[in-house]
Amino acid sequence: MVTLKQVVIDPNDMRGNQHSGGGAAAAPARASNASVEHVLGQAASPQLFCAALAKLFGVRPTEVALMRLEKGLLSFIYPEQLKTAGSIPVSSSSAVAAHTASTKKTELHNAFVKVKHASIFESVKLNSSEDVERAGENAIQKLMSAPILDANRKVLGVVQVCRKGFDVATAGPDFTQEDLQQLELAAKVLSNLPFVK
């Protein structure tokens, strides 16, 4: 099992608190694109990449999903427990990941429960200690989804980051357009990593 301690991340490279001269904490700093690309590009496995992405967005590792497109199906390569839960046909009209792959466009939903979607994968127990402690609050409330495209704009897969909770209020802050841009950057980095190709 991969823990965040295994991911080497310079706190100055990713989001962190900066302090002003008056001693008050400023808003969380936004990581520069170059530092995000550098840190994510060092990930040698889907587990390490998703752990770094979870840290970047302040979510649990089980709130990051990575899928590879193979023969018209999106197959999970992370989280590990979803590898055997099934695949998503790109032709599906009820899966956000399939919509992301077919349109080749990013999506942001801060009221995800109102979006028509396949919820079968939300019922899979991911067996992390945090998920066991937070049983019952694993419904996806907020979601960002980005296609992973090669240099010719061929879809290689989809990466998603979500916030889970009992309701929108308990799931944490809304995702922003800046977050979506950083997820697009992460998808660009993924397109060059061997475990997605």
State whether the Cα torsion 50-56-60-63 is positive or negative.
negative
**pTM for this prediction:** 0.81
Please report whether residue 83 resides in a domain.
Answer: yes
Both structure tokens of 103: 């349109």
- Residue span of the structural domain in which 47 resides: 4-17+30-190
DSSP assignment of 111-174: TGGGS----GGGGS----HHHHHTTT--EEEEEEEEEEE-TT--EEEEEEEEEEESSTGGG-SP
Please report whether residue 196 resides in a domain.
Answer: no
What is the rounded CA–CA span in Å between residue 183 and residue 186?
5
CATH assignment of the domain containing 116: 3.30.450.40
Domain count of the chain? 1
What is the rounded CA–CA span in Å between residue 106 and residue 120?
22
Please report whether residue 25 resides in a domain.
Answer: no
Per-residue pLDDT of the chain (197 residues; tens, 9 = 90+): 333 333 444 433 444 333 333 333 344 456 789 988 999 999 999 999 999 999 999 999 999 999 999 999 999 999 988 888 889 999 998 899 999 999 999 999 999 988 876 655 665 565 555 444 455 567 899 999 999 999 999 999 999 999 999 899 899 999 999 999 999 999 999 999 999 98
What is the rounded CA–CA span in Å between residue 54 and residue 167?
20
Please report whether residue 97 resides in a domain.
Answer: yes
Amino acid at 13: D
Bridge partners, 149 (sequence order): 155
Please report whether residue 142 resides in a domain.
Answer: yes
The Cβ-side half-sphere exposure at 169, using a 13 Å CA radius, reads 0
What is the rounded CA–CA span in Å between residue 138 and residue 122?
7
What is the rounded CA–CA span in Å between residue 151 and residue 30?
27
Please report whether residue 144 resides in a domain.
Answer: yes
Please report whether residue 195 resides in a domain.
Answer: no
Place of tokens 């496995």: 45
Contact 90, 101 (CB under 8 A): yes
